Amino acid sequence: MLRQTATGDSWPWQRSFQARIVLAYAAMFFVVLFALTTAVGRIFYRVQLAQAEHELEVKAFLLANTLEDPLSGFVDEFAAFAHYWQAGGYTEPDQSDNSVVSLTPKDGLTDRPNAPRLRWFVDHYSDEKDARVTVLDEWGNILVDNQFDAASEPNQYRQVEIQAALQSREQHNVRIDPATGLRTLYVAAPIQQGAHTLGVVQLSLPMSDVTATARWWLFMLIAASLASLAVTVAVGVWISYKLAAPMRQLEQAALAIAQGDMTRRVPVKRADELG
């Protein structure tokens, strides 16, 4: 007698009890593992962002305190820039206007202060993480920058972290840096002498640097997850083989009896339902 084949099973795995056990076992483990990896990855990202934000804010605060020292000579350079803007006819930005502030020097006004102390300051305090250090005046004009030409950079008065610093609050911001085209983390701290605000220290770091550690840990987590999945599949194959073995023996015995071998017996090796 020929073995009959079920007509409703179109996929090979549907015709194998062992394959169905392995696939169900692996699929369930994969779903749980994927959800866990995603959740842990998000936690890594948030922790890394919070840590980088805190470190940048602390550094910005310390740099701002250094610039506040009246004996350091930095105050004179802030005053020189203030005279420079006044000579250009600049006025205080209208805070009710939500448009981008653009303070462009008048034609013929080219004697921009060199600010050697401020320039040395931002170059000297650049760290190994390549954080961008920018010093601005109280109207958001960039005075010196350790990575780009300050004279060509746009006004930053409307930026979230600058407004927060001018109000003595802490607020980070993540946005696209127009100079690099990269998503960048920004923080700022006010430079104050008493009740007067001289300017703002702005620090920024590309998000690719901020999340570098989180990406490494996520890669290791994914690698460990794939290894765990491989072990799970191997265990599933072994378990399914053990579960399907009595059924294969029963099938072979049934086929033998159907062909007239009445001496064929099914060995009973276990005390459970499958025997």
Domains within the chain, CATH numbers bracketed: 54-89+113-213 (3.30.450.20)
- pLDDT reported for residue 5: 52
Q: Which helix (H) or strand (E) holds 38?
A: helix 17-67
Q: How far apart are the two ends of the chain, measured CA to CA in Å?
A: 26
Backbone phi, then psi, for 8, in 5-degree steps? -90, -5
Q: Cα(266)–Cα(257) distance, rounded to whole angstroms? A: 11
Q: Cα(56)–Cα(263) distance, rounded to whole angstroms? A: 83
The mean-pLDDT minimum among 39-53, 64-78, 227-241, 255-269 falls in 255-269
Q: Which helix (H) or strand (E) holds 221?
A: helix 212-258
Backbone phi, then psi, for 66, in 5-degree steps? -65, -40
Tokens describing residue 198: 């001289």
User: Residue 127 — very low, low, confident or very high, per pLDDT cuts 50/70/90?
Assistant: low
User: Residue 77 — very low, low, confident or very high, per pLDDT cuts 50/70/90?
Assistant: confident
The mean-pLDDT minimum among 38-42, 62-66, 155-159 falls in 38-42
Sheet containing 183-193, strands listed edge to edge, beginning at the edge strand earlier in sequence: 142-145, 132-137, 196-206, 183-193, 173-176
Q: Tell me if the pTM is above 0.95.
A: no
Residue that has been written with the tokens 């390549």 in this structure: 130
- pLDDT reported for residue 204: 93
Contacts of 185 (CB under 8 A, 6+ apart): 49, 52, 53, 56, 172, 173, 174, 204, 205, 206, 207, 210
